[in-house]
Amino acid sequence: MCRLLGYIGSPISLDYLLYKPEHSLIIQSYQPREMNSGVVNADGFGVGWYHPQKETNPFTYKNILPIWNDVNLPSLSRYVESGCVVSSIRSATGGQAVDLSNCQPFEYDRLLCIHNGMIENFKQTLLRPICDRLNDVAYQSIKGSTDSEHFFALIINELQTNPTATLEQALQTSLLTLEELAQSHQVKASANMILSAGHRLIASRFATGTECPSLYWLRDDPTYPEAVIVASEPLFEGNWHRFPEQSILSVGEDLEIKINPIQL
């Protein structure tokens, strides 16, 4: 299992998200509190962000080192400011390569995606069925070998197939596809996701046949006013809310929060 972080709100330097909190991603990389499996998140990390003024594609920084060992990230994180950030620290599923192509966040056009979860025995079970559902654009977007990126490709496929679909609709349809495939092949799967195209944040807490990974949200904390944070574990003491299981949370440009159940 991995640990996730998403932020949307007033522009903030990355170090205030990655380093300053008492239970930051740095701490969670070697001392997580709520992981269902694994002990540490030492198989790489990644950060993605959007320019606060320009409508450009997102920027990413990734490394296969543990986040605590990256000597460049402290300086970079003090320099970069953004109003929309996603970050992930990785605990690789057994058998999955630790290389940059498998580091999150994943990108497609202006879209960033991070995932915490798993598909049981992915290569032997749902790899081929998922690929069979993909159009050429979605299939060719896959650079690595993880279940995470293949699930993201399902979302890309849905956005390609239904151009008027919202991110929430594409995510829900993809989760329903995952549910259908997992049940038909009798495997466990989970998909805590955070998606963004720069102005909004969409997240899910989902599992089928297994326990949902932890996920929380917080809005307008005194230390982070005019902002919403989504995280696998609370970063600090505050008014954190646990996501309902089998739900999708949407954060609008006005930071309005909507939570809807996934219609299974």
As annotated, the active-site residues are 2
Tokens of 135: 């159009």
Beta strands in the chain (DSSP E): 3-13, 45-49, 59-63, 81-89, 106-108, 111-119, 189-196, 201-205, 207-208, 216-221, 224-231, 241-242, 247-251, 257-261
SS3 194: strand
Torsion over CA: 18, 3, 147, 123 (sign): positive
Question: Measured in whole angstroms, how far is the alpha carbon of residue 104 from the centre of its chain?
Answer: 8
Phi, psi of 252 (to 5 degrees): -80, 175
d(CA 169, CA 43): 31
DSSP 94-150: TT---SGGGPSPEEETTEEEEEEEEETTGGGTTHHHHHHT--HHHHHT--S--HHHH
SS3 240: coil
